[in-house]
Amino acid sequence: MDSKLRHFPPRWPDRFLEFYCNPNRLEQIQGDAYELFYMNLEERGLAFARFRFFIHVLSFFRWGNIRRSKSTYQTYNQGAMLKNYFKIGWRNLIKQKGTTFISVFGLACAVGCCLVAYLFIAQIWFKGMNQPNKDEIFQLTYTAEGENGLETYGVIAEPVSELIPDKLSQVKSHTRISVDFSILIHNNESYNQRSMFVDPAFMDMFVYRMDYGYPGALMEPDQVILTHELSEKLFGTTHPIGQELSLVVNGEEKRYTVGGVLADLNDMDMFNFDLLVNITTHPNATLDLPLKDAWNSELWTFIQVEDGTDISQMKSGLAEMTSIQNTIDPEKPYKSVQLEAFTDLVRNSDQIERGVVGFLAIAPQILLAVIASFILILAVFNYINISVLMASRRLKEIGVRKVIGSRRSQLVFQFLSENLMVCFLAIFLGCLLAGFIFLPGFNEIASKNLKIDLFRDGYIWIFLGAMLLFITLVSGLYPAIYVSSFKPLNILKGNQKIGSKSVFTSVLLTFQFTLAIISIVAGVAFVQTNYINENRDWGYDSSDKIIVNVPSSEDYLPLKNKLSALASVTEVSGSQDFVGDWIREEQLVFNDEKYEISLLNAESNYPEVLDLKLKGGRMFNPELISDMQESVIVNQTFIDQLGLEFPLDEKIELDSMSYSIVGVVEDFHTIFFQSAIDPIVIRASPDTTFNFLTLKMTAGMAESSMESIKKIWHETIPRGLFTGKLQTEVFDREFTDVQGVRNILLFSAILAVILASLGLFGLVSLNMNSHIKDYCIRKVFGANLGDLSLKLLKRYLIIWAIASVLGGAFSVIIISNFLDSFFAFHSGVGVFPIGFGLVILLLVIAATVGSQIWKIVKANPATILKAE
Amino acid sequence: MKGYRLGELEELILLTVGILDQDAYGVAILEEIKNQTGRKVNISAIHTVLNRLEEKGFLKSYMGGATEERGGRRKRLFTISATGRAAIQEVKTLRNKLYDQIPPLALDFSYGQ
């Protein structure tokens, strides 16, 4: 008897039986199955017995034996049990307000950050996904031979849309879309706005909520629909409907009235526009172009098919379109015309040239995702550490539960349910944090308009649900499994030590410190770089200069004459591009070798007007004809990169004309510090008209003269858009951008430090609570402050040291790469940022430990040791 | 005839429970049927039939008799109820009545040769 009881029936079938079997019948069935198992074991051996046991379990799997939730046999009350779990969990949370706050606050911050990152990424990848007809909308694209083999284009010849009703069956509606940067004039102010010219059917295919007016407003050709943003900018709080404005497209001015205003798009729309205009009013639409030219103008074309249409049936129609196009325009044959699903536009954006979706801004997505995951990891680790420690106060509860007959899975479930509660709270708070604090700040920085739209955005619910599940499991599974693994005997005897000093906690803490260090280093290094760049010498004197744009060549001379007449203007110089902006690139030939250089065509006095610093040679001399025709000035980088010595006799060749270098100027920054300084050639161009005028003002007059210059400008060019600015302002936008990034990094660094210190505080104080008698006894026996602090501090100092090495090494690698990708000129990750990070962390540790030591110093050992 | 409808296996098991008297439960019935008739019946089929017979009121059951081989689990022990006894009785009388009506010749296999 005993010998055969050494064997047991196979475990998994047995568990399966327990799992499915109706509890009322389980005892009888399992008993019979066991008995048969031992019978078989005796007669036929172990393998057979096991096999038969398995077969029996399967054969018992009958309707009558399977447990059902509403079985009349069911006497369990799961609901009461769950209620009990939540009640105990809630009481525990309330009882430990401090630690609950640390967990919930940390997780809520993490959820907030993740939400912002998610919204930013979703805004790129889920563009247009809230359109109800998205599955029925397709874009017509064509494939043709391009420079790099076959290429697919998002635009298509305009007349194709006329063929759609004939050639394609089952098309509900179709629209052409053409985006134009046109000048919008309202109340004598001009703005540069993105107008989208569409067919009225556009408003049927794409559904927008309207603030004012109705979607059919575009049926009237002289009405436009504005976005919420533009309407606010133009009209403020006044009622926008019926207001008048005019658009200047291709130099023609046309008057429109506002027929509608869209509700805020929250950056979630596929198209990027400020106002919608009926395409029949586009100046090109009224022109009677020859057939071939009409086919040459290309724009986006979208169709909406009937619900449930098989797209493959349209092949023949699309092929006909291809052949029609190819007979009209045989020089530029289409290979084929296809339909691209609206829902695939973002995903396939890199395969479609000139498509709706341009570039996907991968780098900021990565940055935000990394920051969000840093914060999430910090918060989750805090929670894991604290909840393991917290469980040490509930060891007895766990022991009793186990003795009474709780299975481990039930204990795990209990802890997870408490965890779920914390996470739910955290998600709720995180949404509030994100909605009211993080998002407004981020929108400001990134000039975005993101919003948590719980009512209309289904994806956000999926995201929040996934977050809840993920955080609950990741943060709760380890503590739950660890805590439920103790033997009840050890617990109740009081032998169970819970790991406040466990390796696992130390590893998590090290990891947290490392992340905190990396965040601090990133923030500090970025601040440092910004500081250095803000004070960087631009290579020329930017003060007292104004740049004015010249929209067309006929305005150049009148404008120049009028501006020169101003008293405060000392000198005027024209240039094709201007320093502080992008400068066109040209190919240069020197000694039969080709080089890519930036070429700045300008009037001969331009280098002097700009106060470029001469390093060798001379500036242009307007008196010399040779200077006007065959001389250039170059910068130092040019000399260095070509390996030349100035002065030199060889000539360089540009546009198959040869020039001699008459002067070298010191390097100056034409574009922002994100890019290195390119070799530049300044050519005194004989052209008499330029795109920009640079005005040198009498000292201190630049800012105050801006208004009068703008006025003169508008008098000369009434239909234009004035984009003039001070030379000192040319990098303003870039500075704002990098300051935004700096703010995000600083914010994440501060948050990381706060979270790490909160977690540390929780750990230290819980540790202290459980060892307070230990410390008091030491105190009684005369341990001084130093000894006590050292005892408590030692472990954290070791962790800090390890984290310093890791964090230092990682931040040197990661942050340098990050800075490199951002700036050509940066401070690098030097001793200062790393040292700063380490010191901050050390201070945090010292402060945390100090606060606990202070508790002991103040405590009366007698009261603590007496209490039991 | 308002009767006790018993299937073939039901009848067999009802009889076996009667034979085993106070010690009738799944495995014992299985063994008894095997010994008496040589038939190998699946244990789950026996359980199903036992449950059905109990629902019909032919059997009564109680829990008891835990053994070590069963991992300390009790058996469900079945006994025949009064209705069950009546049912067997009626089935038996019906059989006998029918058997008695068969003409003797039909049983003589040499007839007709």
3-state secondary structure of A1: coil
Contacts of B66 in chain A (CB under 8 A): 31
Mean pLDDT of A126-144: 87
Stated length of chain B: 113
The structure's pTM equals 0.74
**Strand A336-341 with A252-262, pairing:** unpaired
Percentage of residues in chain A having pLDDT higher than 70: 97
ipTM value of the model?
0.83
Q: Give which of A4, A27, A72, A73 to mutate to test B binding, by max B Cβ within 10 Å.
A: A27
Q: How much helix, strand and coil, in percent to the nearest 5, is found in chain A?
A: 55, 20, 25
Alpha-carbon gap, residue A334 to A354, rounded angstroms: 16
User: Dihedral, CA atoms, A824, A826, A829, A831, nearest 10 degrees?
Assistant: 150
Which amino acid is present at A56? H
Q: Which of A5, A36, A64 sits opposite B43 (nearest CB)?
A: A36
A722: confidence class by pLDDT, cuts 50, 70, 90: confident
A67 neighbors B106 (Cβ within 8 angstroms) = no
Alpha-carbon gap, residue A573 to A474, rounded angstroms: 65
Assigned fold of B8-105: Arc Repressor Mutant, subunit A (1.10.10)
Each residue's pLDDT tens digit, A198-238: 998 899 889 888 888 888 888 888 899 999 989 988 888 88
Contacts of B74 in chain A (CB under 8 A): 27-28, 31
How many degrees, rounded to 5, is the angle at CA A517 between CA A516 and CA A518? 90
Strand partners for A246 = A185, A255
Strand partners for B77 = B62
How many degrees, rounded to 5, is the angle at CA A194 between CA A193 and CA A200? 125
Bond preceding residue A558 cis, omega within 30 of 0: no
Q: Which of A25, A38, A56 sits opposite B43 (nearest CB)?
A: A56
Q: Give the torsion sign (CA, A65, A66, A67, A70).
A: negative
Contacts of A17 in chain B (CB under 8 A): none
By the CB < 8 Å criterion, does B56 face chain A? no
A263 neighbors A240 (Cβ within 8 angstroms) = no
Contacts of A39 in chain B (CB under 8 A): 27
Q: Which of A34, A56, A62 sits opposite B48 (nearest CB)?
A: A62
Asked if the Cβ–Cβ distance from A28 to B44 is below 8 Å, we say no
Residue A690, pLDDT score: 85
Structure tokens at A508: 């998590």
Alpha-carbon gap, residue A161 to A156, rounded angstroms: 9
Strand partners for A339 = A140
Which amino acid is present at A322? T
B1: confidence class by pLDDT, cuts 50, 70, 90: very low
Q: What DSSP string describes B15-71? A: HHHHHHGGGB-HHHHHHHHHHHH-----HHHHHHHHHHHHHHTSEEEEEE---TTTT
Residue A498, pLDDT score: 61
Q: Which of B45, B67, B76 sits opposite A28 (nearest CB)?
A: B76
**Strand A593-602 with A680-684, pairing:** parallel
Each residue's pLDDT tens digit, A757-796: 888 888 888 888 778 888 888 888 888 888 888 888 888 8
By the CB < 8 Å criterion, does B82 face chain A? no
3-state secondary structure of A147: coil
Mean pLDDT of A801-828: 88
Chain mean pLDDT for chain A: 85
A615 neighbors A664 (Cβ within 8 angstroms) = yes
**Directed axis angle between helix A23-44 and helix A46-59, to 10°?**
150
A234 neighbors A243 (Cβ within 8 angstroms) = yes
Each residue's pLDDT tens digit, A628-665: 778 888 888 888 888 877 777 778 888 778 888 888 89
Strand partners for A260 = A213, A225
A548 neighbors A706 (Cβ within 8 angstroms) = no
Asked if the Cβ–Cβ distance from B63 to A29 is below 8 Å, we say no
Structure tokens at A792: 């408590």
A156 neighbors A361 (Cβ within 8 angstroms) = no
Mean pLDDT of A17-39: 86
Contacts of A33 in chain B (CB under 8 A): 43
Q: Which residues contact B37 (CB under 8 A, 6 or more apart)?
A: B12
Q: What DSSP string describes A732-754? A: HHHHHHHHHHHHHHHHHHHHHHH
Residue A76, pLDDT score: 56
Q: Where are the domains of chain B?
A: 8-105
Enclosing H/E stretch for A314: none
By the CB < 8 Å criterion, does B51 face chain A? yes
Alpha-carbon gap, residue A18 to A27, rounded angstroms: 9
Residue B109, pLDDT score: 63
By the CB < 8 Å criterion, does B94 face chain A? no
A105 neighbors A111 (Cβ within 8 angstroms) = no
